[in-house]
Amino acid sequence: MKNQEFKIAEQKTKQAGLKATIPRMRILQLLENSQQRHWSAEDVYKALLDSGDDEGLALATIYRVLTQFEGAGLVTRLHFEGGTSVFELNQGAHHDHLICIKCGKIEEFFDEAIEKRQQAIAKKKNFDITDHCLHIYGVCALCKKL
Amino acid sequence: MKNQEFKIAEQKTKQAGLKATIPRMRILQLLENSQQRHWSAEDVYKALLDSGDDEGLALATIYRVLTQFEGAGLVTRLHFEGGTSVFELNQGAHHDHLICIKCGKIEEFFDEAIEKRQQAIAKKKNFDITDHCLHIYGVCALCKKL
DNA sequence: GTATATGCAAAACTTTTGCATCCTT
DNA sequence: AAGGATGCAAAAGTTTTGCATATAC
């Protein structure tokens, strides 16, 4: 955890209206510095346990922090099939998900036409969209070869 | 539970490769004869408890039966935000969902253009779609007036 | 009659909460 | 110093499972 990175995380957390506590910093940095984009609470818990010199955090704290991050807009909570919550860092724009049912890989995509159609459907029904999610399940190119 | 309805349910269950047991018949008939389309396991449990002369079923049985129905293609299991599973009878074609976050109403819709775009996206990535779900959350026309 | 399904109770699993203690500001 | 955050353990909620008994074919 380099000093510079810590400063950035501290800044972001405070901007979000949250105190810059150690657990929040560690979770935010994990999400930002890992190439992994999608995390269950358990994933975060284990990653922090394994991550070297520091101690782990309580699982309850991880849930609390991720929920606060969600409220602050730093993170999005997704519900894939299987029931458990998956969290992803909010960076850049909205997108949807392709999930491989063999290897578990999650790919992100964005399609302007689909977004527009959704808005048109909502408009026709006089429905105010607050959120939406499109999850496409199937077998990815790599798994098809196996 | 009229005799005729029972026959139809029996037929469907057997066609699906399942024995025509009382719990399966009662659950299938509930799903087919109610105007309600979306059910949690708990919903089914309560509805069967309340439904007159018969006794209720064990919640475990309801989960088992709904899971078998899902496997047999009679029912689809959905995961909305909130974590609990919701089941709907498979009748007619695929569709997606608009969910009102105020009143909980679930509306179904189908959009050819969105389906086509999804296929195009999958094709480009060489991804074989097995399933997909599009959930749009927001406030419905009725709730907006309140 | 045999294999399968059900009921009941207990377990498994994810997520939340109460409370004493500790940390950030 | 004061309010909020954390850890721990316990609770809550949903879904699954083991096992003895009952049911369908």
Q: What is the pLDDT of residues A91-109, one digit of tens each?
A: 888 999 999 999 999 999 9
pLDDT digits (tens, 9 = 90+) for B42-58: 999 999 999 877 888 99
Mean pLDDT for each 10-residue chunk of chain B (146 residues)? Answer: 73 92 96 96 96 87 98 95 92 92 93 97 96 95 92
The distance of B136 to chain A (nearest Cα, Å) reads: 4
SS3 state at B94: coil
Chain A positions in Cβ-Cβ contact with residue B141 (cut-off 8 Å): 125-127
Q: Is residue A7 very low, low, confident or very high in pLDDT (cuts 50, 70, 90)?
A: confident
User: Of A39, A38, A32, A41, which Cα lies nearest the Cα of A11?
Assistant: A32
User: Of B79, B132, B133, B135, which Cα lies nearest the Cα of A85?
Assistant: B79
Q: Is residue A3 very low, low, confident or very high in pLDDT (cuts 50, 70, 90)?
A: low
Best B96, B101, B121 residue to mutate vs chain A (most A CBs within 10 Å): B121
DSSP H/E element including A65:
helix A59-72
